[in-house]
Amino acid sequence: MIFKNHIAVRLLRGDDDLPMEILVHHYPNLLKMKPDEITEDNPVAYQAKMLWELVRNRGQRAFYITSTVLDLLDKLHVKKSVVLPIRKEHSEEVIGTASTFDWSVFNGHLKPDAKYTFIFNELTNKSLLRIWVTPSDSAINFCRMWMTNTNIKEDYTYLKWCISFLDKRHNTLSNNWMEADVQEAEEFIYKVLCFFFLSENEELLIQPGGKHGTRKQGKVVNDLNVPITIVNSKWNITSIRTEGFPVSFHFRLQPYKTGSKMIPIQSYMKHGYVRRAKKPDSL
């Protein structure tokens, strides 16, 4: 994995043109506003400020999510257990409702004013996910970026993004929550956060200019100007090697007094045998 051909370059190296592109795309009328109109009392200006803070390169931590984590996402069983209102943009008006996951399980894990940038490899179309909690802890913002053509190296015309948020103060969802791009990513984002915050992982910090691993293992070269943390799953996988009607190995979220934790449910079947897996693959 070499980051120079990844869209993370623009976000993590501090390309100020990127937040401006996104800002103008979402709020084209902002450029027509007079300076004295751009205040936090103006809903459009306030949302634009939040969007700028979400995308700009300040205070983020970057994590490279390995395939060992991605391969386990389908084994985490989650369900939408909460129904929340959808609020009209720049308004208190509720325009509908949506079933979603219980995002409160990350309370205490997602710190106020913290930015988490999760980088995925070519298997996920060279995409990344940024999570930002506002300084007041009033909202969780989700920004997903991806390339429509993975063969493009320096042409950012093919860069796409999708931004949504959960308003914790009013317990409402952004007005675009039911759009296709948001719905497509919702479960993936939730599962990634479960593995990152609620399970046991191995983390390895690579400073700018550093490298780790071999080509066979999946070498990672940090050619960015910020540290990158490699996140690798520590879970052992149990596989079934016989016929029958097995309940496959999976994970579930278990409530605890201090919050929620992701626990493994081992495969089992009434007849036959179970072969335990070896130790997790190394980075």
Q: Residue 256: which pLDDT band, with cuts at 50, 70 and 90?
A: confident
Asked if pLDDT for residue 279 goes beyond 70, the answer is no
pLDDT per position as a tens digit, 56-98: 877 789 999 888 888 888 888 889 999 999 998 777 889 999 9
Residue with token string 């046991």: 200
How many residues does the structure list for the chain?
283
Looking at this protein, which amino acid is placed at residue 113?
Answer: D
Helix (H, G, I), strand (E, B) or coil at 144: strand
For 40, 93, 204, 229, 244, the CA distances from 55, given in Å and listed in that order, are 18, 27, 25, 20, 50
User: Cα(159)–Cα(138) distance, rounded to whole angstroms?
Assistant: 29
Strand 115-119, strand 60-65: pairing: parallel
Non-local CB neighbours of 151 within 8 Å, separated by 6+ positions: none
Q: Is 65 left (phi over 0), alpha (psi -120 to 50) or beta?
A: beta
pLDDT per position as a tens digit, 99-119: 999 999 999 899 999 999 999
Strand partners, 132: 115, 141
In this prediction the pTM is: 0.78
- CB 117 within 8 Å of CB 11: yes
- Count of other CB atoms within 10 angstroms of residue 202: 14
Helix (H, G, I), strand (E, B) or coil at 124: helix
Q: Residue 49: which pLDDT band, with cuts at 50, 70 and 90?
A: confident
